[in-house]
């Protein structure tokens, strides 16, 4: 669909050295069957492998769809957050996310999710299951995101709430669509965390309903060399979750506090080394959930370690 009209949906696609994958990602957007105008903001963070050339090629071929945002210098390394740069530029009523190494595999994905938003004014966020692939594209439709033991997604459910989002990682990033708030804003603490997806989804969904769409409509690429799969990387992300939950205790309605405290305690128990917590963070945890650190110190440590080494 070629149109210069105001887009109903903005897709945010962030890329960095994704030349091996970005054509498949962009083709997934081009092949969407839809009855509404859409824009795809592709943020290339100063790639050095030719990704930016491919993005420009697609922007030339599909000027009414692809909006290139090519950075001359890497903004992430300087503390910038590519997602949020794109969110502020997004013109759509709704925003979807797909990083430059993931793929939308269902050509009706955007239409299905937009139709649901248009008929449910209380809908704030929607998501679906996805296939999991590696660097070569293997594993798709063999392993699903919902198969991970840390995920609480139930493919039989259609409706979720904020308690579900708080309890555990739930939504594959490339599956998510949310209603853009006007003006778009997030609290500053969110930009200090080592990840953006979980707090963003919680923040966007906090005042409305969440829909789960049946079926796999995208593929998520899981890189085997990810830094988050090292012990140090795991603790860094776990501490990030602990910080997030402490902020949510201050930001969200008290009706969510019990759920937040339970999730906070589980994250403390998941630490490989409690020395990852500085004195200030230790004090905040103890004030929020007294006794958590002493009771969690060795709980399940060897079981977690064995499971991590097998992963």
**In the chain, % of residues over pLDDT 70:** 88
In the 8-state DSSP scheme, what is residue 144?
Answer: B
CA distances from 225 to 65, 79, 306 (A): 33, 23, 19
Residue of higher predicted confidence among 266 and 272? 266
Cβ atoms of 184 and 90 closer than 8 Å: yes
Neighbours of 304 (CB within 10 A): 15
**74-107 tens-digit pLDDT:** 999 888 899 999 999 999 999 999 999 999 999 9
Label residue 301 by pLDDT band (50, 70, 90).
low
Query: What average pLDDT does the segment 275-279 reach?
Result: 87
Q: Where are the alpha helices (DSSP H) in the chain?
A: 22-30, 51-61, 82-89, 109-119, 162-167, 197-205, 231-251, 257-270, 279-288, 292-296, 301-310
Label residue 12 by pLDDT band (50, 70, 90).
very high
Query: What average pLDDT does the segment 220-242 reach?
Result: 74
Quick one: pLDDT at residue 139? Answer: 55
Integer Cα distance of 311 and 182 in angstroms:
42
Phi, psi of 115 (to 5 degrees): -55, -40
Question: Looking at the predicted structure, is the pLDDT value of residue 159 above 50?
Answer: yes
In the 8-state DSSP scheme, what is residue 214?
Answer: E
Fold (topology level) of 9-221: Spore Coat Polysaccharide Biosynthesis Protein SpsA; Chain A (3.90.550)
Query: Which is it for the CA torsion 93, 197, 16, 134, positive or negative?
Result: negative
Task: Give the residue among 49, 85, 93 at the shortest CA–CA distance from 67.
Answer: 85
Question: Looking at the predicted structure, is the pLDDT value of residue 138 above 90?
Answer: no
Query: What average pLDDT does the segment 180-208 reach?
Result: 94
Quick one: pLDDT at residue 232? Answer: 59
Kindly give, in sequence order, each residue whose CB lies less than 8 Å from that of residue 265, ignoring residues fewer than 6 positions away.
289, 292, 296
Integer Cα distance of 22 and 300 in angstroms:
40
Query: What average pLDDT does the segment 1-23 reach?
Result: 88
Longest dimension (CA), the chain: 60
Quick one: pLDDT at residue 297? Answer: 58
Label residue 1 by pLDDT band (50, 70, 90).
very low
- Outline which parts of the chain fall under CATH 3.90.550.10: 9-221
Cβ atoms of 44 and 66 closer than 8 Å: no
**24-40 tens-digit pLDDT:** 999 999 999 999 999 99
Peptide bond into 147 cis (omega under 30): no
Integer Cα distance of 31 and 51 in angstroms:
20
CA dihedral 250, 175, 19, 223 (to 10 degrees): 70
């Amino acid at each position: 669909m070629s149109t210069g009209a105001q887009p109903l949906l903005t897709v945010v696609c962030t890329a960095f050295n994704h030349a091996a994958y970005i054509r498949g990602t962009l083709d997934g957007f081009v092949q969407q069957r839809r009855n509404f105008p859409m824009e795809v903001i592709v943020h290339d963070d100063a790639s050095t492998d030719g990704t930016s050339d491919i993005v420009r090629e697609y922007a030339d071929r599909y000027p009414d769809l692809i909006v290139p945002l090519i950075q001359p210098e890497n903004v992430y390394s300087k503390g910038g957050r590519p997602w949020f740069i794109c969110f502020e530029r997004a013109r759509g009523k709704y925003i979807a996310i797909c990083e430059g190494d993931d793929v939308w595999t269902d050509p009706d994905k955007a239409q299905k999710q937009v139709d649901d938003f248009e008929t449910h004014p209380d809908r704030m966020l929607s998501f679906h299951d996805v296939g999991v692939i590696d660097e070569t594209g293997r594993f798709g439709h063999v392993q699903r995101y919902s198969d991970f033991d840390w995920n609480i997604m139930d493919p039989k459910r259609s409706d979720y709430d904020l308690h579900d989002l708080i309890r555990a990682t739930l939504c594959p990033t490339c599956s998510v669509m949310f209603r853009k708030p006007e003006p778009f804003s997030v609290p500053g603490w969110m930009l200090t965390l080592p990840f953006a997806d979980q707090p963003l989804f919680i923040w966007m969904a906090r005042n409305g309903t969440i829909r789960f769409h049946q079926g796999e409509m995208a593929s998520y690429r899981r890189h085997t060399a990810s830094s988050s799969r090292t012990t140090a990387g795991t603790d860094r992300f776990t501490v990030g979750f602990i910080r997030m939950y402490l902020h949510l205790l201050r930001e969200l309605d008290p009706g969510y506090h019990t759920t937040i405290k339970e999730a906070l305690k589980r994250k403390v128990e998941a630490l490989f080394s409690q020395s990852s917590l500085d004195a200030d963070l230790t004090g905040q945890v103890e004030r929020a959930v007294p006794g958590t650190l002493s009771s969690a110190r060795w709980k399940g440590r060897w079981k977690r370690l064995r499971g991590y080494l097998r992963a």
